[in-house]
Amino acid sequence: MNSTPLFSLVAGVLVIPALVLLWLALGERLLRLLPARAQDRVRPWLWLALPLLLGGTILVYPLIQTLLMSFRNRSGEGFVGLDNYGWVLSEQVRPVLVNNLIWLIVLPVLTLALGLVIAALADRVRYEWLVRTVMILPMAISFSAAAVIWRLMYAYQPAGAAQTGTLNGMLNQLGLEPIAFLSDPALTTWALIAVGVWMSTGTAMLMLSAAIKNVDASTLEAARLDGAGELRAFWHIAVPQIAPTIIVVYTTQVIFALKIFDIVYTMTNGAFDTNVIANRMYAELFQARDYGHASAIAVVLLIAAVPIIVVNVRQFREENAR
Partner 1 sequence: MRSPRSTRRRTTTVVGAAFAALGVTLAGCADAGSSASGGSAASAPELPAQYVDAAKSFSESLLSNGEKTEGTVTVVGTLAGTERERLLSAFAPFEEATGIKVDYTGTEDYTTVIQAGVDSGNPVDVMTVSSMAMVRQYANSGDLKDVGSIVGADTLEKNFEQGLIDAATFDDKTYALYMSLDNFMVWYDPQKYDGPTDGDWDELSAWTEQQAASGSAPWCLGLSAGASTGWPGTFMVFNQIMKSQGPEFTAGLATGETKWSDPKVKAAFEAIGEIVHTDGMVYGGPSAALSTEPGAAGNGMYNDQCSLFEWGTYGAATLMAGNPAVKAGENLDFMPIPAENPDYAGTEAYTGTVVAAFADRPEVQSFLKYLASDEAQTLIAATGNYVAPNQNVPAEAYPNELLKKISTDLLSKDLAPLPSHTIDTSVRSTVYTAFSNYVQDASTLDAGLKSIDDAQAALG
Give residues in contact with partner 1 (CB under 8 A).
Answer: 1, 74, 92, 126-127, 130, 134, 149, 152-153, 155-158, 161, 164-166, 169, 180, 182-185, 265-273, 282-283, 286-290, 293
Cα 142 versus chain centre, distance: 13
Least distance in angstroms from the C-beta of 125 to partner 1: 10
Calpha distance 24→265 (Å, rounded)? 46
Distance CA 125, CA 240 (A): 23
Find how far residue 176's CA is from the centre of its chain: 36
Is 62 or 229 the residue whose CB approaches partner 1 more closely? 62
Output 85 or 265, the one with its CB closest to partner 1. 265
Task: Give the residue with the Cβ less far from partner 1, 66 or 157.
Answer: 157
In the complex, what is the shortest distance from the CB of residue 156 to partner 1, in angstroms, rounded to a whole number?
A: 4
User: Environment class of residue 108 by beta-carbon count within 10 Å: exposed (0-12), middle (13-18) or buried (19+)?
Assistant: buried
Q: Least separation, in Å, of the C-beta of 130 and partner 1?
A: 6
Q: In angstroms, what is the minimal distance from the CB of 269 to partner 1?
A: 4
Q: Are 151 and 267 in contact (CB under 8 A)?
A: yes
Instruction: State which residue, 181 or 234, has the beta carbon closest to partner 1.
Output: 181
Residue 316 beta carbon to partner 1: minimum distance, rounded to whole angstroms:
34
Rg, the chain, Cα only: 26
State the Cα–Cα distance between residues 184 and 286, nearest whole angstrom: 27
| CB contact at 8 A, 277 and 96 | yes
Tell me how crowded residue 145 is: count the other CB atoms within 10 A of its CB.
13
The whole-angstrom separation of Cα 196 and Cα 128 is: 23
d(CA 275, CA 264): 7
- What's the closest the beta carbon of residue 127 comes to partner 1, in angstroms? 5
Q: How far is the CB of 200 from partner 1 (least distance, A)?
A: 20
At its nearest, how many Å lie between partner 1 and the CB of residue 93?
A: 11
Distance CA 114, CA 133 (A): 16
Report the 10 Å Cβ neighbour count for 163: 19
Collect all residues with Cβ–Cβ distance below 8 Å to 223 and sequence separation of at least 6.
232, 233, 236, 237
Listed residue (68, 102, 73) closest to 290, CA to CA:
73
Nearer Cβ to partner 1, position 34 or 170? Answer: 170
Distance between CA 53 and CA 260 in Å, rounded? 30
End-to-end CA distance of the chain: 51
Q: Measured from the CB atom, is 43 or 132 closer to partner 1?
A: 132
Nearer to partner 1, 161 or 306 (CB): 161
Question: Could you tell me the smallest distance in angstroms from the CB atom of residue 22 to partner 1?
Answer: 28
| Residue whose CB is less far from partner 1, 191 or 257 | 191
- Kindly tell me the sign of the dihedral angle through the C-alpha atoms of 36, 37, 43, 44: positive
- Of 93 and 110, the one with the shorter C-beta distance to partner 1 is 93
